[in-house]
């Protein structure tokens, strides 16, 4: 019997605002679409957080035995400056500034994106389609929307008629906005006079003579609107109705709202059963964002070469830090938070190291099967990773008690405990065993841990000359040891 038959997941559905029992459209199968990056610059850690939330979700579904088709696109055309319907294409702009081809920009930042995700131990999605690879599908979709009376053509561009759509549908159903309020609050931008109403959005834009990325269509030489690609690619690979659509919270409006409208206008139904939105990563109390300059790149955080953090952090520490918060909560990236995460991560890894060496007994002081189910319960409750981590730390505490002789564990339970701890730490949370990765920071951290343990042994043997020597020589090398009630930790300068 597959695990998904016994583990009942609840998912917070942004569309209904409720936590709902998860039931896939086809038993045992899950179709999940997540909006991918626009590849015009290096990804920042905010982007990483959103994709990491869905990586964790993907991992858990797979573990439960579902056959998951996970589609995450690459936006390589159609995304204009300020997410608007006019202005320059983000990719073309970068290409112009660097005097290279737009596709060179796409290639460079797609490679960067993949490298970053590999560093953070992401699983690849099942399909990674590009907007430029699906121009034909997008043109077909536009034609259907025109044929159904929900779009109009002006000067070679095609616009979605939001007001017409709203007569028989609810525009704003996902973002809980009302069209009347939007009408009140929309500024009329010059150059948008082609549109019947400012709320309408572009499905196809006629390209200016200087616009490089262009394709022939029945309406003009031009390019698709940004919202359209996700509708075309999600339904192409996952069908007219699929289980989960995800993305960052900032995409709810207008991007996802427009996706729903396009789908209903084309096919008469909302294609998505569960809409999931990951919350934002903040820096200095404000949303991390390329456009405001308030961001930090993964390489800067890992190397410590930045003005914000006191040192570099390993990819697994960053992952652990992110997993300590629910995907639905805002999370502030701080040095203190990362230092605490590093301590926690090291404690977890230490417990994983010693668990195999524990002495067993006839019986166990705690019920390991019950604890294991509590780990599942945390994940089943809308992927509550902070609760899961708290449960893992219950096990860490218990392991240390057994080690000190203050608790007992049977042979079978020890096997189960070890297996479960490894399963949730590595397979589901995607952490990597410090001693098994080839990251230099991680390796050096392990080396310092070894010295800390040798110093502890020296002190137990009352060899204070040696213990002081270890501390002082580490300090000379720029590594300060701090003795606390939970053991010794270190910082670097
Ligand atoms: P973009 O390349 O700007 O389209 O963004 C790619 C993904 O990153 C989208 O799902 C965004 O919602 C997400 N994203 C952007 N900024 C942040 C942030 N500060 N925190 C979390 N996710 C973000
Ligand atoms: Zn999208």
Question: Per-residue pLDDT tens for 299-308?
Answer: 999 999 999 9
Q: Whose CA is nearest to atom 18 of ligand 1?
A: 46
CB 49 within 8 A of CB 105: no
What is the Cα–Cα distance from 27 to 10, expressed in whole angstroms? 16
- Between the CA of 231 and the centroid of ligand 2 the distance, in Å, is 8
pLDDT of residue 192: 52
For ligand 1, what atom is nearest to the CA of residue 49?
21
pLDDT of residue 128: 98
359-363 contacts at long range (C-beta below 8 A, 24 or more positions apart): 359/402, 360/408, 360/409, 360/410, 360/411, 360/414, 361/408, 361/409, 361/410, 362/408, 362/410, 363/408, 363/410
**Ligand 1, residues at Cβ distance < 6 Å:** 35, 37-38, 46-47, 49-50, 247-248, 250-251, 280-281, 287-289
Q: Whose CA is nearest to atom 15 of ligand 1?
A: 47
| SS3 of residue 296 by DSSP | coil
For ligand 1, what atom is nearest to the CA of residue 47?
8
- Between the CA of 281 and the centroid of ligand 1 the distance, in Å, is 9
- Number of helices (H) and strands (E), helices first, in the chain? 16, 15
- Between the CA of 438 and the centroid of ligand 1 the distance, in Å, is 28
At 29, list the tokens. Answer: 């199968």
**What is 282-437's CATH topology?**
1.20.120
Mutating to test ligand 1, I would choose from 73, 113, 248 the residue with most ligand atoms within 8 A of its C-beta, which is 248
Q: For 3-278, give the CATH class.
A: alpha beta
- Between the CA of 82 and the centroid of ligand 1 the distance, in Å, is 14
Where do the domains of the chain lie? 3-278, 282-437, 440-492
What DSSP character marks residue 221?
S
- Give residues with Cβ within 8 angstroms of 192, minimum separation 6: 85, 86, 198
For ligand 1, what atom is nearest to the CA of residue 288?
19
> What parts of the chain have a pLDDT lower than 50?
190
Mutating to test ligand 1, I would choose from 32, 33, 45, 47 the residue with most ligand atoms within 8 A of its C-beta, which is 47
3-278 and 282-437 agree in CATH topology? no
- Give residues with Cβ within 8 angstroms of 438, minimum separation 6: none
Reported as a single tens digit per residue, the pLDDT across 400-458 is 999 999 999 999 999 999 999 999 999 999 999 876 655 566 667 778 888 998 999 99
pLDDT of residue 188: 56
């Amino acid at each position: 019997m597959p695990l998904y038959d016994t583990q009942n997941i609840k998912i917070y559905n942004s569309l209904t605002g409720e936590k709902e029992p998860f039931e896939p459209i086809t038993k045992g199968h899950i179709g999940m679409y997540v909006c991918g990056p626009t590849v015009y610059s290096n990804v920042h850690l905010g982007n990483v957080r959103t994709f990491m939330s869905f990586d964790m979700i993907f991992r858990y579904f797979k573990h439960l035995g579902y056959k998951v088709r996970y589609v995450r696109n690459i936006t390589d055309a159609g995304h204009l400056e300020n997410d608007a319907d006019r202005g320059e294409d983000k990719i073309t702009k970068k290409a112009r500034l660097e005097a290279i081809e737009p596709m060179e920009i796409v290639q460079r930042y797609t490679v960067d994106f993949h490298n970053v995700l590999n560093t953070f131990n992401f699983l690849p999605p099942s399909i990674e389609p590009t907007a430029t690879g699906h121009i034909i599908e997008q043109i077909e979709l536009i034609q259907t929307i025109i044929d159904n009376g929900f779009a109009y053509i002006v000067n070679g561009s095609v616009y979605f008629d939001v007001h017409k759509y709203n007569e028989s549908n609810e525009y704003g159903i996902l973002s809980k906005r009302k069209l009347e309020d939007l009408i009140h609050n929309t500024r009329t931008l010059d150059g948008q006079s082609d549109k019947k109403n400012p709320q309408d959005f572009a499905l196809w834009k006629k390209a200016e003579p200087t616009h490089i990325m262009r394709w022939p269509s029945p309406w003009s030489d031009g390019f698709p609107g940004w919202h359209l690609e996700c509708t075309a690619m999600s339904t192409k690979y996952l069908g007219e109705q699929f289980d989960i659509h995800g993305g960052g919270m900032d995409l709810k409006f207008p991007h996802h709202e427009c996706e729903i409208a396009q789908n209903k206008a084309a096919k008469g139904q909302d294609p998505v059963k569960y809409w999931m939105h990951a919350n934002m990563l903040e820096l200095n109390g404000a949303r991390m964002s390329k456009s405001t300059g308030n961001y930090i790149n993964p390489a800067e955080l890992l190397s410590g070469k930045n003005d914000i953090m006191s040192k570099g952090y390993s990819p697994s520490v960053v992952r652990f830090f992110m997993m300590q918060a629910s995907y639905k909560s805002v999370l502030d990236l701080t040095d203190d938070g990362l230092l605490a995460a590093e301590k926690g991560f090291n404690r977890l890894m230490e417990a994983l190291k010693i668990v195999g060496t524990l002495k067993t007994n006839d019986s166990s002081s705690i019920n390991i099967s019950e604890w294991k189910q509590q780990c599942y319960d945390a994940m089943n409750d809308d992927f509550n990773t902070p609760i899961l981590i708290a449960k893992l730390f219950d096990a860490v505490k218990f392991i240390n008690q057994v080690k000190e002789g203050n608790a007992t564990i049977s042979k079978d339970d020890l096997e189960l405990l070890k297996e479960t701890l490894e399963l949730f730490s590595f397979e589901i949370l995607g952490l990597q065993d410090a001693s098994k990765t080839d990251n230099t920071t991680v390796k050096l951290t392990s080396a310092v841990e070894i010295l800390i343990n040798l110093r502890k042994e020296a002190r137990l043997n009352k060899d204070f000359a040696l213990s002081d020597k270890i501390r002082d020589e580490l300090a000379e090398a720029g590594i300060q040891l701090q003795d606390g009630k939970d053991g010794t930790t270190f910082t670097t300068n």
